[in-house]
Amino acid sequence: MKTAAECGLVACPACGTITRAFLQATVQPPRCQLCFARLHSRKPMSLQRSWAWLLAGIIAYIPANLYPIMYTTVFGDSQPNTIFGGILVLLELESYPVALVVFVASVVVPVLKFLAVAYLLISIQRKFAHSRFDRTRLFRLTEFIGRWSMIDVFVVAILAALVQIRSVALIEPGLGATAFGASVIFTMLAALALDPRLIWD
């Protein structure tokens, strides 16, 4: 029960072919003989890059909630809509399942994802030895679920395209949508930069 790194081996991050680590020192830059991908035992500067993207994601999440994600104009009366306001509208319409989907995708998931990535990073840096299996599962969940937050941006884009009936109703996208999209993308990059193998090292 040994890891590749403990045996002085490197698995190609793309195709998985296993090479001896000493090859890395002799061939520059070290590349996989099978698929020509750059070889590295762990993602380079994983923790620093992950922290940086995570902080960028958290910062972008602030304007995402403060600025309107769209402007609704009905019969000449223009109103800004924030993310939270949109959820309240859905609740008033009594579409509870959709309100729940939007609430989970735009509030619960981003916030939990910030916390999850931060917890994983801290646990790696503090060299926690417990619940490695659970932390790997948390990592997988974070990686899988993060993209789904983009749903908010797509809803705004579709509404803005569809509701273009000049005299009656008009929907325009707002700055909040860009900030929210940026926040989702940054957090996805944070999860992609995080090397789960560090949890077990």
Partner 1 sequence: MTSAYSDNANFKTRRYAETVLLSLVACHECDLLHEKLELRQGEVARCVRCNAFLYSNKPNSIDRALAVTLAALIMFVVANAFPFLAISVSGNSQSISIVSAVFALSDNGMWLLGLLCFSFILFIPLLRVVGLLYILLPLRFSSRLPGLELVFRGIVTMSPWSMMEIYLLGAVVALVKLASMANIELGLSFWAFALLNLLSALAAQMVDTHTLWEFMSQSRGGRKSIIDGGSHR
- How far apart are alpha carbons 135 and 42 in whole angstroms? 17
Pairing of strands 70-74, 18-20: unpaired
DSSP state of 23: H
Phi, psi of 9 (to 5 degrees): -115, 155
Q: Which two tokens stand for residue 175?
A: 């700055």
Q: Which two tokens stand for residue 182?
A: 């940026």
Q: Which of 155, 190, 193, 194 binds partner 1 (CB under 8 A)?
A: 155
Min separation Cβ 195 and partner 1, Å: 9
CB 200 within 8 A of CB 132: yes
Q: Is 145 in the site for partner 1 (CB under 8 A)?
A: no
Q: Is 49 in the site for partner 1 (CB under 8 A)?
A: no
Choose one: 52-60, 107-115, 121-129, 142-150; the region binding partner 1 (CB under 8 A).
142-150
Q: Is 108 in the site for partner 1 (CB under 8 A)?
A: no
Q: Is 110 in the site for partner 1 (CB under 8 A)?
A: no
Q: Which is nearer to partner 1, 84 or 200 (CB)?
A: 200
Q: Which of 65, 73, 82, 178 binds partner 1 (CB under 8 A)?
A: 178
